[in-house]
Amino acid sequence: MKKKNKNNKPPTKKPKKSKKICYEEKKFNNNKKIYMKKSLYDNSSQNEESEEEKEENEEKEEEEEYEEFTIKLSMLYFDQCDPKKCTGKKMERLGLLKEIKFSRNYGGILLTPTGKKICSIEDHDIIAKKGICVIDCSWAKFEELHLDLHKIETRSLPFMVAVNPVNFGKAYKLSCVEAFAACLFLGGFEKESRFIMDHFKWGEHFFKVNEELFSKYKGIKSQDELKEIQEKYINDELIRKQKRKENDGFNISDDNDDENKNIEEDDEEKKEKEKGNNDNDNKKDELSKEEKDEEDKEEEEEEEEEEEQIDYELFKNIKIDENDFK
């Protein structure tokens, strides 16, 4: 048997290196954990560095380049959505959260549509120690679950607009990852909030669309103040929409009036042209009749002249004698 040449192996495809690494799984001390890259989320590292500092940073260990993602994220999954489109399932595959069973003794923050309070900076310590849990189910069927939530710290989210492909542009229709990101941001974990959203192509748009709301909600502790901001923003948006509709309506009516005027003007021009054409035709008819009459008269005169000429010639040819008159 001939030995296979090692040099004649087919070329292997190298994996594409992403320019931006959102997260990296590493094993330190045989423990699998999630680590965030500091350079992406630390503002201080974005400043210009000297050559010496760059060399020093290159010599540092990998442990110092990455920051561990320590917040415990969990999900109660009730199989009421498409697992392929579920952002919670994708986070589970990436190792960002764990699916758990419902327990009355859960000590973290549970996000529900009927939460006692709105998420705020006051929840910072609870999030850091116990984490956040999301209920992945249809809010229309939430009451059918019959969950005993009396002893659990339930929270609701303020007014926000969804950016996920399923409910794009709809208020309050946040996906699991959007709910986690909003709760983390309001709780004072902005780096972690952006970190989990970076795993989705549309993640950055969530912060851009809700930028004004995040700036207003950020750092506020009072529940009454959060509600006032929410209500004011909703009222302002409704007023803006009404003004847009009114402006669009006026523009449409003006456009229709202009179109109608143009149509009427065109009709009038057509009528005038038709009248002009008819007058021209009548004039032409009258002229043609007069010309015909003149031609007829000329022909008659010519015929008479011809007759006269003929008679004259006849008389010329006749010879008269004086004896004929005797």
List the structure tokens of 254. 């003006």
Q: Does residue 46 form part of some domain? A: no
Long-range pairs of 12-18 with CB within 8 A, sequence gap ≥ 24? none
For residue 170, give its domain range: 71-220
Q: Does residue 17 form part of some domain? A: no
Helix (H) or strand (E) holding 136: strand 132-136
Let me know the angle formed at the C-alpha of 77 by 75 and 82, rounded to the nearest 5 degrees.
Answer: 120
Q: Does residue 169 form part of some domain? A: yes
Helices (H), the chain: 38-41, 51-59, 62-65, 87-94, 124-130, 176-186, 190-197, 203-209, 211-217, 223-317
* Residue 36, C-beta contacts closer than 8 angstroms, at least 6 positions apart: 23, 66, 67, 68, 69, 191, 192, 195
List the structure tokens of 41. 């989320």
Q: Does residue 135 form part of some domain? A: yes
> What pLDDT shows up at residue 65?
72
Q: Does residue 96 form part of some domain? A: yes
Ramachandran class of 164: left when φ > 0, alpha when ψ lies in -120 to 50, beta otherwise: beta
List the structure tokens of 174. 């946040």
Task: Please measure the distance between the N-terminal and C-terminal CA atoms of the chain and give it in whole angstroms.
Answer: 163
List the structure tokens of 43. 């503002």
Q: Does residue 251 form part of some domain? A: no
Is residue 13 packed enough to be buried (19+ CB in 10 Å), middle (13-18) or exposed (0-12)?
A: exposed
CA–chain centroid gap for 275, Å, is 54
> What pLDDT shows up at residue 305?
56
Q: Which residue has the tokens 């902005």?
A: 190
Q: Does residue 276 form part of some domain? A: no
Q: Residue 68 — φ and ψ, nearest 5°?
A: -70, 135
Spatial separation of the C-alpha atoms in residues 99 and 268, rounded to whole Å: 75
The tens place of each residue's pLDDT in the chain, 326 residues long, gives 555 555 555 555 444 444 455 555 655 445 567 888 877 777 644 455 556 665 665 555 444 577 888 999 999 888 777 888 889 999 999 999 999 998 888 999 999 888 889 999 999 999 999 999 998 877 677 777 778 788 889 999 999 999 999 889 898 889 999 999 999 999 999 999 999 999 999 999 999 999 999 999 998 989 999 999 999 999 988 898 888 888 876 554 455 555 555 666 666 666 666 666 666 666 556 656 666 677 776 766 665 555 444 444 444 444 444 444 34
> What pLDDT shows up at residue 315?
41
> What pLDDT shows up at residue 38?
75
Ramachandran class of 79: left when φ > 0, alpha when ψ lies in -120 to 50, beta otherwise: left
CA atoms within 13 Å, Cβ hemisphere of 86: 22
Per-residue DSSP letter, 96 = S
Q: Does residue 149 form part of some domain? A: yes
Domain count, the chain: 1
List the structure tokens of 191. 């780096």
* Residue 130, C-beta contacts closer than 8 angstroms, at least 6 positions apart: 72, 106, 107, 108, 109
Q: Residue 194: name the closest of 44, 17, 35, 36 by CA.
A: 36
Q: Determine contact, residues 149/112, Cβ cutoff 8 Å.
A: yes
